[in-house]
């Protein structure tokens, strides 16, 4: 109990700090949102297909948009810590360093889900597809958690590098491929109205990916940020 309390307190402090700073600047969410909206507008005009084909592409377009917008947010989230030396400020605190990781990850998840909450209704209108599906929402949450859990870990590594803006996508996309494939397939399954038995394998991959990468990050974050 005595060790959990400082952990939760530090994690909450980091989440509060990230949300408060973003509320003031709106830099990260604005950048993510502009990118995401441009993305779905371009796809909308580029893919002048019949409604059935467009509907079948929905999950792919949605996850490409979320993944690229999420990468922008992940880069920015760690760059803010590095630019004014704040990462050292966090590392100097007498708390379990995994509390820093989970604080940053939950903050990044909130921003990614916020962007998803804005683009999904716009996408529904533009593509004339009903995306208000509980299964799809669950997949977005599972997929976003997997993406930010591995992304926050990699961003903490690449933030030390001069070429961090390029390095993060180069490292993140190959690692995130199983997650994105599973998310696209599971989302498509829910939108097509497929049987849950058809979706279950992709759902399992998503859950296993989330558990494995959260556990890996929990174990290695301390070493990743060590100088």
Partner 1 sequence: MLGWASKTDPTQQNITLMIEVNHLVKRFGPKTVLKNLDFQAQQGEFVALLGPNGAGKTTFLRILSSLSRQTLGEVIIAGYSLPHQAAAVRRQLGVVSHLPLLYGDLTAEENLQFYGRMYGVKGLEQRIGAVLELVGLAPRRRDLVRTFSRGMQQRLAIGRAIIHDPEVLLLDEPHTGLDQDACEMLDNVLRQVAARQRTVVMTSHDLVRVADLASRFDVLSRGAIRASTPRLGLPQDGLLAFYREALNTATIAPGGAP
What letter does residue 193 receive in the DSSP assignment? T
Of the pair 25, 204, the CB lying nearest partner 1 is at 25
CB of 115 to partner 1, least distance (A): 19
CB within 8 Å of 149: residues ≥ 6 apart:
105, 210, 213, 214, 217
**CA 68, CA 84: separation in Å to the nearest integer?**
26
Three-state secondary-structure class, residue 132: coil
Q: CB of residue 120 vs partner 1: minimum separation in angstroms?
A: 28
Token couple for 44:
């909308």
CB closer to partner 1, 45 vs 223: 223
Q: Which is nearer to partner 1, 80 or 172 (CB)?
A: 80
Kindly list the residues in this chain that would bind partner 1 in the complex (CB under 8 A).
Answer: 6, 9-10, 12-14, 16-17, 20-22, 24-25, 80, 84-86, 88-96, 226-227
Cα 183 to Cα 75: distance, rounded to the nearest angstrom: 22
Q: Is 143 left (phi over 0), alpha (psi -120 to 50) or beta?
A: alpha
The DSSP call for residue 98 is: H
185 DSSP 8-state letter: H
CA–CA gap between residue 138 and residue 13 (Å, rounded): 27
- CB count in 10 Å sphere of residue 133: 14
Cβ(75)–Cβ(156) under 8 Å?
no
Q: Which is nearer to partner 1, 87 or 139 (CB)?
A: 87
Shortest distance in whole angstroms from residue 70 CB to partner 1:
21
Nearer to partner 1, 48 or 226 (CB): 226
Q: How far is the CB of 10 from partner 1 (least distance, A)?
A: 5
Query: Which of 94/174 has CB closer to partner 1?
Result: 94
User: Closest approach of Cβ 98 to partner 1, in Å?
Assistant: 12
Beta carbon of residue 18, minimum distance to partner 1 (angstroms, whole number): 9
């Amino acid at each position: 109990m005595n060790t959990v309390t400082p952990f939760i307190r530090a994690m909450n402090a980091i989440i509060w700090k990230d949300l408060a700073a973003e509320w003031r600047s709106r830099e990260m969410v604005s950048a993510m949102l502009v990118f995401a909206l441009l993305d779905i507008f371009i796809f909308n005009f580029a893919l002048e297909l019949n409604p059935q084909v467009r509907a079948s592409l929905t999950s792919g377009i949605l996850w490409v948009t979320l993944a690229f917008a999420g990468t922008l947010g992940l880069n920015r989230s760690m760059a803010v810590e590095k630019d004014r030396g704040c990462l050292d400020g966090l590392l100097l605190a007498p708390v379990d360093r995994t509390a820093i990781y989970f604080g940053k990850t939950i903050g990044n998840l909130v921003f990614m889900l916020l962007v998803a909450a804005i683009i999904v209704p716009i996408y529904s209108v533009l593509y004339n597809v009903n995306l208000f599906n509980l299964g799809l929402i669950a997949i977005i949450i599972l997929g976003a958690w997997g993406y930010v859990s591995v992304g926050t870990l990699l961003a903490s590594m690449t933030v030390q590098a001069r070429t961090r803006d390029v390095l993060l996508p180069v490292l993140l996309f190959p690692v995130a491929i199983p997650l994105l494939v599973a998310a696209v397939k599971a989302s498509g399954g829910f939108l097509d109205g497929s049987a849950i038995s058809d979706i279950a394998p992709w759902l399992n991959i998503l859950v296993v990916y989330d558990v494995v990468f959260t556990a890996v990050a929990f174990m290695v974050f301390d070493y990743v940020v060590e100088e």
